[in-house]
Amino acid sequence: MSLNYVDIHIIYYFCAKIKGVFEIFPDIKEISDKYYKISPTDISLKDTFECGQCFRFNDDGNGYVGVARKKAVRFIQGDGCIYIKGADRAAIESIWLEYLSLDKDYSDTIKRFEGDGYIKTAAEFGKGIRILRQEPCETTLSFIISSNNNIKRIKKIIEHFCRLFGKEISFEGKILYTFPTGDELADMTVETLAPIKAGFRDIYIYDAAQKIVSGEIDFEKIALLPTDEARKELMRIKGVGEKVADCVLLFGFDRGEAFPKDVWIKRVMTNIYGEDFDEKRFGKDAGIIQQWMFNYARLNPDKFTNTEK
């Protein structure tokens, strides 16, 4: 019997919990039916959902609502905690704690690199960011769509894509849509993609879908490969270069050593670190450091001055 990617993560979750290797295990308190309080946690929902790693959660004024792993849910920020609405305890334990990386403690990473002034500043600024553990198929197609695009348009294209090819979910009196995977992509053509208005990306989305459906791109196998080999496999998809592949590795495969280099990171590399920059020195912490750097650079474009390293 083969295990899919979600199954692997669920097994990992419970094994880790039994072995006591989680750095953090938040308390889960039931408030009412399918409404729970998770504490303590220093996650910032705003920084996590709006830092460019995820495109399907939106703030409607009463928290962040979205769909992940074919389930709809609402997250609400509290004082040192979050509230989850629309999930029972079993789903929280097997899906949402892991999805939000609430088992992670990044304080050791900050300590290891506290001698680097830029990382220290960026980490403090974005200390509520967590690397989401998303599904590889969704992450791959989403970051193909994100290429040379802005967040507002990326979200619009992805939502239209889900309406066309995903399945309906009723949540809080509204209809939401799952991200299509597997057989749901089988009948896709370049022509049927036209309504989402993805432009030149249509051919890349179609190529990715065909390779996923045929098994030429096998996410379960990729999950078991060393990072460099996994990156090469992903780059067999049209439109997937190193940057998109590293985004997929970081956000879709939980490869903490992945370090996507977009325009903001390249500016940090050039203006802060110069020729001495080598992300390999960050090791397994490269991904979260990249997110801190990206978030700080994007929201503070006027502060590209070299700090003591």
pLDDT digits (tens, 9 = 90+) for 194-206: 999 999 999 999 9
Q: ω into residue 40 within 30 of 0, thus cis?
A: yes
Enter the pTM of the model. Answer: 0.89
Q: According to the model, what pLDDT value does residue 140 have?
A: 98
Domains and CATH numbers, the chain: 5-106 (3.30.310.260), 136-252 (1.10.340.30)
Q: According to the model, what pLDDT value does residue 305 have?
A: 53
Q: Which residues of the chain have pLDDT under 50?
A: 1-3, 5-6, 8-23, 306-309
Q: According to the model, what pLDDT value does residue 24 have?
A: 57
Close Cβ partners of 61 (under 8 Å, ≥ 6 residues apart) = none
Rounded to 5 degrees, φ, ψ at 233 are: -60, -45
296, 125 contact by CB (below 8 A): yes
- Look up residue 167 and give its two tokens: 């399945």
